[in-house]
Amino acid sequence: MKLIFEKSSVGRTAVELPDFEYKKADKKVPKEFLRDDVNLPELAEIDVIRHYTELSRRNFGVDNGFYPLGSCTMKYNPKINEDVSRFAGFAGLHPLADDGLSQGSLQLLYEMREYLCEIIGMKGFTLQPAAGAHGELTSVMITKKYFKDLKEDRKIILIPDSAHGTNPASAAHCGFDVVEVKSDADGNVDLAELERLLTKDVAALMLTFPNTLGLFDSNVTKIAEMLHENGSLLYMDGANMNAMLGVVRPGDLGADLIQLNLHKSFSTPHGCGGPGSGPVGVSKNLVKYLPNPVVKKKDDKYYLDFKNKESIGKVHAFQGNFGVIVKAYTYIRKLGAQGLKDAGENSVLSANYLRVKLMHDYNLPYKRICAHEFVLNDLDMPNHVTTGDIAKRLLDYGIHAPTIYFPMIVHGAIMIEPTETESIQTMDRFVDVMKKIKKEAKENPDLVRNAPHNLFVKKLDGVKAARELDVKYWPGC
């Protein structure tokens, strides 16, 4: 398929503008706005529509089919969320409009914060961070300020080997030294190892919970106790809160800080670099460090309070990705308390259903009840068919590949997360397809190795792509 720039034809246009002599009309228009040498594609409306419709047909999203991408929580995003976020009063509000003109939006932000405090069991929340990793960074900044105020120079952040890869990056970005904690044979944090590493230099432990093996660490309250006794903080990466919604509150387990991913657990669309939202919740002694401004309420009027001097400052323009917050707010209001609990329980039920259905055909390294996801690998595959081959073959059957080769503590990992929004029929079809691929691997391994066969793009040479990067570009772009 050609780039839209390659389809350009000089002089072709989709709109007819009235004649307008810019230069005469307004001498003050800056010169750079009057350029006619900008290399933009020139196409008729029909060409533009066909181009983007064709691109969308080649894409795969949760609205096309089953998308069991572990850790990413590709659950269905109810369309009512989109409707509400497009209400003119929300979508059209200028971010600099004063408090008096923004009452509805401020009320929504205020209530959203209160809902999250209640659902997660924390004392305060900021809605500013734009993504999960941004929420991690915000949390690490708060941690840093907390110890600075205590005049304690703690340099280390402990991170289990089952953590999400963004955790060490966030800690290092903020100037901490990262020390890895090994998992034990059950996939929990190794307590003896934690004990050994827990010196007075340790500021915090960043615990992905549930971890990237899809497991609840059964010693979590013990871990919290050990950290607190040492004066350290327990940070939870709650990106995959799906598995706990309405059932467990991280605050009750001892978390001092947590980031959520509204674009995972609270059903707002994500992928392709679109906007996300990674709110951060904190315990009582950390509330004062949350980013400014904070939405407050007095005599039934909402207002933005910028006064907190101990705040770490702003981490995003205005109130974060407001539209995303509106979608997640709609989701919470639509489900209510019981609905959230059902979502949490069903996400765990779905994952365990698939785990049990597949564990006789595929190797399951950690034989335990899982949370929202589970990890298989390619150890039992005939003819050395690999995880990568299985993932590509799934595409031929109209199923998005699971997350593969992650977490790295499992060789050839296949991380599967069905989410609560899939029907039993969809999951049964996935099981059938996975079993079929196993059979193909035995009887016709090349069919699997050379997949995909039915897509626009065939099997790519991953090594060549990495070694000889060839990114098409359009001069002047």
In the complex, which residues of this chain contact ligand PLP (CB under 6 A)? 71, 131-133, 164, 166, 208, 237, 239-240, 261, 276, 278
CB atoms near residue 312 (< 10 Å): 20
Q: Which of 233, 240, 277 is nearest to 257 (CA)?
A: 233
The CB-of-394 to ligand PLP minimum distance in angstroms stands at: 21
The CB-of-193 to ligand PLP minimum distance in angstroms stands at: 21
The CB-of-199 to ligand PLP minimum distance in angstroms stands at: 26
CB atoms near residue 22 (< 10 Å): 10
The CB-of-176 to ligand PLP minimum distance in angstroms stands at: 17
Is 287 strand, coil or helix?
helix
Which position's Cβ is nearest ligand PLP? 132
Rank residues 105 and 167 by Cβ distance to ligand PLP and give the closer one.
Answer: 167
The CB-of-137 to ligand PLP minimum distance in angstroms stands at: 9
Rank residues 240 and 419 by Cβ distance to ligand PLP and give the closer one.
Answer: 240
Q: Which of 170, 176, 172 is nearest to 138 (CA)?
A: 170
Rank residues 258 and 364 by Cβ distance to ligand PLP and give the closer one.
Answer: 258
CA distance 338 to 343: 9
Rank residues 132 and 279 by Cβ distance to ligand PLP and give the closer one.
Answer: 132
The CB-of-166 to ligand PLP minimum distance in angstroms stands at: 5
Q: At what angle do helices 424-443 and 322-358 cross, to 10 degrees?
A: 50
The CB-of-167 to ligand PLP minimum distance in angstroms stands at: 7
The CB-of-164 to ligand PLP minimum distance in angstroms stands at: 3
What is the DSSP pairing of strand 257-260 with strand 280-282?
Answer: antiparallel
Rank residues 402 and 452 by Cβ distance to ligand PLP and give the closer one.
Answer: 402
The set of long-range contacts for 63-68, using a CB threshold of 8 Å and a minimum separation of 24, is 64/398, 65/398, 65/399, 65/400, 66/398, 66/399, 66/400, 66/418, 66/422, 66/426, 66/429, 66/430, 67/399, 67/400, 68/354, 68/399, 68/400, 68/402, 68/416, 68/417, 68/418, 68/419, 68/430
Rank residues 166 and 311 by Cβ distance to ligand PLP and give the closer one.
Answer: 166
Rg value, the chain, Cα: 25
N-term to C-term CA, the chain: 19
Rank residues 242 and 363 by Cβ distance to ligand PLP and give the closer one.
Answer: 242
Residues present in the chain in total: 477
Residue 148's contacts (CB-CB under 8 Å, 6 or more residues apart) are none
Residue 308 has φ and ψ, to the nearest 5°, of -65, 110
Rank residues 254 and 276 by Cβ distance to ligand PLP and give the closer one.
Answer: 276
Asked whether 179 and 157 are in contact (CB, 8 A), the reply is yes
Rank residues 139 and 166 by Cβ distance to ligand PLP and give the closer one.
Answer: 166
CA distance 196 to 176: 19
Rank residues 194 and 239 by Cβ distance to ligand PLP and give the closer one.
Answer: 239
The CB-of-431 to ligand PLP minimum distance in angstroms stands at: 24
Rank residues 238 and 388 by Cβ distance to ligand PLP and give the closer one.
Answer: 238
The CB-of-321 to ligand PLP minimum distance in angstroms stands at: 11
Residue 114's contacts (CB-CB under 8 Å, 6 or more residues apart) are none
Eight-class DSSP state of 69: B
The torsion of the CA quartet 128, 132, 134, 138, rounded to 10 degrees, works out to: 70
Six token digits for residue 316? 């995003």
The CB-of-70 to ligand PLP minimum distance in angstroms stands at: 9
The CB-of-129 to ligand PLP minimum distance in angstroms stands at: 9
CA distance 23 to 131: 44
Asked whether 235 and 255 are in contact (CB, 8 A), the reply is yes
Rank residues 73 and 377 by Cβ distance to ligand PLP and give the closer one.
Answer: 73
